[in-house]
């Protein structure tokens, strides 16, 4: 049996190649037949360049149908797809090329000169170009190839992709994901979220990240359904496209921006059977306001680069505000203390997971891989959380974000929840900064509304309000009022940036 992920995709859509796969903003459509032929041409090009199964294909381009086709071509040719954030700068790309040693690097035209230099330095034999409109040397050379290609056989454990982690705590790590890792998670999500060939996903996420590529695209391709394939999230485009869709996936920022539009209401969402949020915590206020506005509850789920999705609120059952739901079918999840002993329900601890979706380890980092797995095979996520009596997981934050003040553990999310509920607060981020007496001082960085209510907020007032609700050791020593919080490309607040900024 061929375990190549593309073979599973094509088995689903091969019977109806005329069906639309990608519907673009300008109304043009790529059928599944178009996708199959275009990915065959690119797969043939990869082989013509001399790449072999197992070679890496590094890609740092803007979102386009051709970029998605390159992902599929890499799968078909048995190669390892390595997507990179277009925002990465020269020094960052240099590290990835040196570490992964790809056989091909596909970049944006404006980066080509730097790419050629880096490729020469890193020993990358081929560099091609793809722009945001799907044009460039990659497509020109692929056009000369045959549109027939026999998908190369792969074993279940053969690598399909390497995705680098953010590297906020040191050297970026390449998470190795096999064909079976990706297939098992996509199958589970399709079943859990009840995807059908009749679904239409409004796709506004980037595709260099696990959310936009492996969750959104793989679920669509595995069911032979369609995507409204937008280059990026724009709130007006979202409002216009939602009535043509049945599923929408986004980061919390997408939902807050929709709610900021007065015209967004139940009518705007009447065709949508499922709204999914992930990649960053969804504020309770956003969850509640969205339900009040549309009559629908956002489904929040939890996962990471190292294994796709681990948990999800149910499709048909109760979607609990503030929770990322129970473990998905086939995934084992546990919460343990510092000694590895199981925590009681409601007690925060370290989240660990095990399942067929969990990655094979970090690229060329056997010591780090061994460090991140327990002796009985559970992956240490690095997140802190607790499980309630019904099995729903509530995440407190990253272990590295834990604040130890005066010898006591402080979980930032508990304080953030209190501050975020205050009138006039848009959002907050709580960090620990060095303190001579306490070791770390609890510090809150707060974004307030541009209104009389928001303007009335002050450092003294916020500290006083927190003191009324939480123990003294959890009360911020400082509150810093800002206009916005630093975020990465997927909308996650960059607490490491905040810590660096307010160390003094």
Q: What is the CATH number of the domain that holds 96?
A: 3.40.50.12780
Contacts of 133 by beta carbon, 8 Å cutoff, 6+ apart: 64
Which residues span the domain enclosing 379?
A: 233-398
Residues 40, 97 within the same domain: yes
Residues 98, 166 within the same domain: yes
Q: Is 414 helix (H, G, I), strand (E, B) or coil?
A: helix
Could you list the pLDDT tens digit for every one of the 504 residues in the chain? Answer: 999 999 999 999 988 999 999 999 999 999 999 999 999 999 999 999 999 999 999 999 999 999 999 999 999 999 999 999 898 889 889 999 999 999 999 999 999 999 999 999 999 999 999 999 999 999 999 999 999 999 999 999 999 999 998 644 457 899 999 999 999 999 999 999 999 999 999 999 999 999 999 999 999 999 999 999 999 999 999 999 999 999 999 988 899 999 999 999 999 999 999 999 998 788 888 999 999 999 999 999 999 999 999 999 999 999 999 999 999 999 999 999 999 999 999 999 999 999 999 999 999 999 999 999 999 999 999 999 999 999 999 998 877 788 888 777 787 888 998 999 999 999 999 999 988 767 788 999 999 987 656 567 899 999 999 998 888 888 999 999 999 999 887 778 999 899 989 987
Residues 474, 391 within the same domain: no
Strands 299-304 and 274-277: parallel
Q: What b/e string do you get for 238-274 counting C-beta neighbours within 10 Å, with b at 16 or more?
A: beebbeebbbbbbbbbbbbebbeeeebeeebbeebeb
Residues 295, 266: contact at Cβ < 8 Å? yes
Does residue 224 form part of some domain? no
Query: What pLDDT does residue 169 have?
Result: 43
Residues 387, 484 within the same domain: no
Does residue 206 form part of some domain? no
Residues 243, 380 within the same domain: yes
Question: Backbone dihedral region of 205: left (phi > 0), alpha (psi from -120 to 50 degrees) or beta?
Answer: beta
Does residue 7 form part of some domain? no
Among the candidates 349, 372, 398, a domain finishes at 398
Query: What pLDDT does residue 438 have?
Result: 74
Residues 141, 268 within the same domain: no
Residues 373, 410 within the same domain: no
Query: What pLDDT does residue 260 have?
Result: 93
Among the candidates 138, 170, 192, a domain finishes at 192
Does residue 15 form part of some domain? no
Query: What pLDDT does residue 263 have?
Result: 96
Does residue 26 form part of some domain? no
Q: For the chain, what is the domain count?
A: 3
Residues 365, 494 within the same domain: no
Residues 423, 369 within the same domain: no
Does residue 21 form part of some domain? no
Residues 271, 364 within the same domain: yes
Q: Say which DSSP state 43 is in.
A: H
CA-closest candidate to residue 182, choices 196, 166, 161: 161
Does residue 239 form part of some domain? yes
Does residue 202 form part of some domain? no
Residues 338, 471 within the same domain: no
Residues 61, 94 within the same domain: yes
C-alpha dihedral (404, 408, 412, 418), degrees to nearest 10 = -150
């Amino acid at each position: 049996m061929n375990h190549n992920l593309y073979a599973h995709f094509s088995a689903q859509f091969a019977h109806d190649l005329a069906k639309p796969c990608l519907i673009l903003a300008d109304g043009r459509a790529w059928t599944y037949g178009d996708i199959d032929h275009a990915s065959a041409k690119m797969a043939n090009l990869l082989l013509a360049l001399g790449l072999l199964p197992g070679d890496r294909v590094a890609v740092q381009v803007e979102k386009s149908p051709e970029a998605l086709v390159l992902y599929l071509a890499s799968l078909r040719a048995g190669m390892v797809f390595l997507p990179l954030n277009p925002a990465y700068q020269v020094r960052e790309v240099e590290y990835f090329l040196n570490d992964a040693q790809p056989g091909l690097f596909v970049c944006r035209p404006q980066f080509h000169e730097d790419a050629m230099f880096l490729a020469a330095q890193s020993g990358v034999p081929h560099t091609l170009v793809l722009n945001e409109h799907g044009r460039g040397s990659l497509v020109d050379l692929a056009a000369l190839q045959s549109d027939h290609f026999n998908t190369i056989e792969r074993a279940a454990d053969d690598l399909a992709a390497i995705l680098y982690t953010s590297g906020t705590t040191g050297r970026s790590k390449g998470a190795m994901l096999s064909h079976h890792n990706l297939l098992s998670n996509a199958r589970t999500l399709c079943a859990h979220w009840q995807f059908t060939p009749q679904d239409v996903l409004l796709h506004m996420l980037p595709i260099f990240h696990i959310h936009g590529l492996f969750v959104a695209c793989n679920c669509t391709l595995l069911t032979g359904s369609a995507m409204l394939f937008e280059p990026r999230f724009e709130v007006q485009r979202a409002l216009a496209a939602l009535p043509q869709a049945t599923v929408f996936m986004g980061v919390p920022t997408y939902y807050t921006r929709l709610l900021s539009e007065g015209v967004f209401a139940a009518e705007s969402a009447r065709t949508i059977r499922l709204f999914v949020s992930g990649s960053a915590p969804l504020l309770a206020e956003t969850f509640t306001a969205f339900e009040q506005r549309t009559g629908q509850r956002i489904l929040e789920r939890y996962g990471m680069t190292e294994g796709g999705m681990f948990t999800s609120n149910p499709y048909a059952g109760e979607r609990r505000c503030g929770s990322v739901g129970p473990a998905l079918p086939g995934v084992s999840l546990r919460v343990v203390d510092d000694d590895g002993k199981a925590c009681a329900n409601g007690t925060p601890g370290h989240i660990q997971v095990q399942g067929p979706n969990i990655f094979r380890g970090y690229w060329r980092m056997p010591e780090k891989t061994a460090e991140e797995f327990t002796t009985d095979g559970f992956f240490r996520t690095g997140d802190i959380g607790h499980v309630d009596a019904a099995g729903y997981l509530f995440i407190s934050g990253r272990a590295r974000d834990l604040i130890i003040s005066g010898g006591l553990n402080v979980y930032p999310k508990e304080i953030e929840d209190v501050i975020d509920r205050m009138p006039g607060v848009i959002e907050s981020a709580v960090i620990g900064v060095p303190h001579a007496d306490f070791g770390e001082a609890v510090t809150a960085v707060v974004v307030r509304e541009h209104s009389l209510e928001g303007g009335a907020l002050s450092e003294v007032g916020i500290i006083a309000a927190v003191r009324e609700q939480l123990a003294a050791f959890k009360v911020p020593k400082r509150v810093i009022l800002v206009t916005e919080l630093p975020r990465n490309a997927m909308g996650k607040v960059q607490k490491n940036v905040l810590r660096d900024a307010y160390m003094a």
